[in-house]
């Protein structure tokens, strides 16, 4: 069955481009350009995946995620943005998005990312992997939960390979793991990213809220 997808982006040209690039790979059931329009639409349509722009005219993507999560816990979010600012990306991920990809992603890669998010896995772009490694760098620990505030050596290795541009399949081959194991490492990093109280992450999130 095709995944039902809602697009939330205020750039009509871009939305049209995504629709045509995705083609038949998924079923685009709706689209919205603002936070105010998106929330009731998503609650009504109950799609599998919502592609959400980080910046919208009346707020940011995390506002949608926060508003929808209580009523539709099954809806998964994938952040799609041109923004390079770490605090923006980290804020959406911490709100509950299961991944972040840049808008230059190809149609086929985007379809694969949607499928991966729909099945509950995480999708990290090289850039996001870099942010995360930066945030979890050793030696900046300020107390808190050690299990959540540190990456395991394996998780670090996987993230480094993602940052270097490797795909999950290539990472699995290189580290002699199954793709499933690679996926579970990435999901575990996502969980840490969302739950950790690590100083760097908290700082990014606060900065974002202040803006």
Partner 1 sequence: MALRSFAPSSDERVVAGVCAGIAQTLAVDPTLVRLVFALLALAGGAGILLYLALWAWAEGKRVWVAAALAFVAGCVLLGALGLSARAVVGIALIAGGLALAWRQGGSFHPDAPLSYGGIGLAALGALVLLWGGGTSSALLAPGAVAGALLLIGGPWVWRLAVERDVERTARIRSEERSDMAARVHDSVLQTLALIQKHAQEPRRVASLARRQERELRGWLYGDHPLDESASLRAALEAAAGDVEELHGVRVELASAGDCPVDASVGALVLAAREAMTNAAKFAVVEEIDVYAEVTDDDVSVFVRDRGAGFDRAAVPADRRGVVESIEGRMERAGGRATVVTSLGSGTEVELRLPRRAS
Interface positions with partner 1 (CB under 8 A): 82-85, 102, 104, 125-127, 129-131, 133-134, 137-139, 160, 163-166
What is residue 119's DSSP assignment? T
Instruction: Evaluate whether 56 touches 71 at the Cβ level (below 8 Å).
Output: no
Q: What is the enclosing helix (H) or strand (E) of 141?
A: none
Shortest distance, position 84 Cβ to partner 1, whole Å: 5
- Minimum CB–partner distance for residue 126 and partner 1 (Å): 4
Q: Find the shortest distance in angstroms from Cβ 108 to partner 1.
A: 13
Distance of alpha carbon 26 from its chain centroid, rounded? 18
Q: What is the Cα–Cα distance from 181 to 35, expressed in whole angstroms? A: 36
Whose Cβ is closer to partner 1: residue 20's or residue 106's? 106
Nearer to partner 1, 138 or 210 (CB): 138
Residues 86 and 135: their CA atoms lie apart, in Å, by: 10
Yes or no: say if 194 and 96 are a contact pair by the CB < 8 Å rule.
Answer: yes
Q: 161 or 182, CB closer to partner 1?
A: 161
Minimum CB separation from partner 1 for residue 82, in Å? 8
Q: Give whichever of 38 and 163 is closer to partner 1, judged by the CB atom.
A: 163
């Amino acid at each position: 069955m095709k995944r039902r997808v809602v697009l939330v982006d205020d750039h009509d040209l871009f939305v049209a481009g995504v629709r045509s690039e995705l083609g038949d790979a998924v079923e685009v059931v709706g689209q919205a350009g603002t936070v105010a329009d998106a929330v009731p639409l998503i609650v009504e349509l109950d799609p599998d995946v919502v592609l959400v722009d980080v910046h919208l005219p009346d707020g940011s993507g995390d506002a949608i995620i926060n508003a929808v999560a209580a009523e539709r816990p099954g809806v998964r979010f994938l952040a799609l943005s041109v923004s390079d600012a770490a605090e923006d990306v980290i804020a959406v991920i911490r709100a509950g998005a299961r991944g972040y990809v840049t808008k230059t992603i190809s149609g086929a890669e985007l379809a694969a990312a949607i499928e991966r998010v729909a099945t509950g896995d995480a999708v990290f772009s090289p850039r996001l992997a870099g942010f995360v490694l930066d945030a979890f760098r050793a030696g900046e620990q300020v107390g808190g939960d050690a299990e959540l505030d540190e990456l395991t050596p394996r998780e670090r290795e996987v993230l480094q390979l993602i940052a270097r541009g490797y795909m999950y399949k290539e990472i699995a081959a290189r580290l002699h793991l199954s793709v499933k194991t690679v996926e579970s490492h990435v999901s575990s990093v996502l969980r840490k990213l969302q739950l950790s109280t690590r100083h760097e992450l908290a700082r990014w999130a606060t900065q974002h809220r202040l803006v």
